């Protein structure tokens, strides 16, 4: 069973622009290396050797650094959003359409290019062995979910709802997903520009949406304060 990954790295990064203005957000410097390089190294450690990077703003910057991935021990291809932003859902759909004709049952990971998450891959693959067509997302527990909104999960791991952003502790969506290719193709049918988080996931509650809780480090570098944390906490990984 071959596992592929798609990294979403096409966003404008407007909230981070005051401290990272000369490159795409996913290429922000952490210990002398781009943040995206840390994510690729992590995938390689989990024996994921085929990655498609969904690029948009600053796509040439990313291509020029990584190329085909030969120097990084991983096979890299690119899916370009083009001049029009597609949203996270549209970007995933575009990226999947560029993949070679693998078996529909093979799993595809999707992860945000501005988020670091410590995870074990096996629980996600095990969850896909359920009888339903599943999409499995990673969740992490935080003390303040105000920035993200909370995910409600039942005892058997099924996602039972999403809550609006508010100042409370709870589980949040960590921006890491796993589903079979056939499932991605089914749930991403729609307009060209749409959001995976807002337009797709809520419609899957009760229809095969499950969660795996990850207890390790989680950092979203999308705002300056957390980017500063990442430069300290991830220095040893760069």
Establish how many alpha carbons lie within 13 A of residue 232's alpha carbon, considering only the half-sphere containing its beta carbon: 5
What range defines the domain where residue 85 resides? Answer: 4-237
Domain count, the chain: 1
Phi/psi-derived region of residue 171, left when phi > 0, alpha when psi is between -120 and 50, beta in every other case: beta
Per-residue pLDDT tens over the stretch 10-33? 876 566 656 566 678 889 888 888
Rounded mean pLDDT, 53-64: 91
Q: Dihedral of the CA atoms 5, 155, 143, 220 (nearest 10)?
A: 10
Q: What is the pLDDT of residue 226?
A: 83
Nearest by Cα to 136 from 177, 173, 108: 177
Cα separations (Å) of 96 from 80, 117, 119?
12, 22, 23
Rounded mean pLDDT, 160-178: 88
Cα separations (Å) of 62 from 12, 19, 50, 91, 107?
13, 18, 16, 16, 25
pTM to 2 decimal places: 0.94
Per-residue pLDDT tens over the stretch 213-229? 999 999 988 888 888 88
201: confidence class by pLDDT, cuts 50, 70, 90: very high
Nearest by Cα to 110 from 39, 162, 172, 27: 39
Q: Is the pLDDT of residue 150 over 70?
A: yes
CATH number at residue 141: 3.90.550.10
């Amino acid at each position: 069973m071959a596992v592929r990954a798609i990294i979403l790295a096409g966003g404008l990064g407007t909230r981070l622009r005051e401290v990272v203005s000369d490159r795409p957000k996913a290429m922000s410097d952490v210990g002398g290396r781009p943040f995206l390089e840390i994510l690729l190294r992590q995938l390689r450690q989990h024996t994921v050797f085929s990655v498609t990077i969904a690029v948009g703003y600053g796509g040439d910057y990313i291509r020029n650094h990584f190329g085909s991935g030969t120097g990084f021990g991983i096979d890299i291809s690119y899916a370009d959003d083009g001049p029009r932003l597609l949203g996270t859902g549209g970007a995933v759909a575009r990226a999947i359409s560029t993949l070679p004709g693998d078996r529909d049952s093979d799993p595809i990971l999707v992860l945000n290019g501005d988020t670091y998450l410590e995870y074990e891959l096996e629980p996600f693959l095990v969850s896909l062995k359920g009888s339903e067509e599943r999409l499995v997302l990673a969740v992490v527990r935080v003390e303040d979910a105000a920035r993200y909104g909370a995910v409600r999960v039942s005892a058997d791991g099924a996602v039972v709802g999403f809550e609006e952003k508010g100042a409370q502790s709870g589980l949040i969506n960590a921006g890491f997903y796993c589903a079979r290719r056939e499932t991605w193709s089914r749930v991403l049918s729609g307009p060209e520009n749409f959001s995976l988080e807002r337009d797709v996931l809520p419609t899957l509650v009760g229809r095969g949406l499950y969660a795996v809780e990850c207890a390790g480090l989680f950092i979203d570098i999308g705002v300056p304060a957390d980017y500063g944390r990442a430069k300290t906490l991830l220095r040893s990984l760069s």
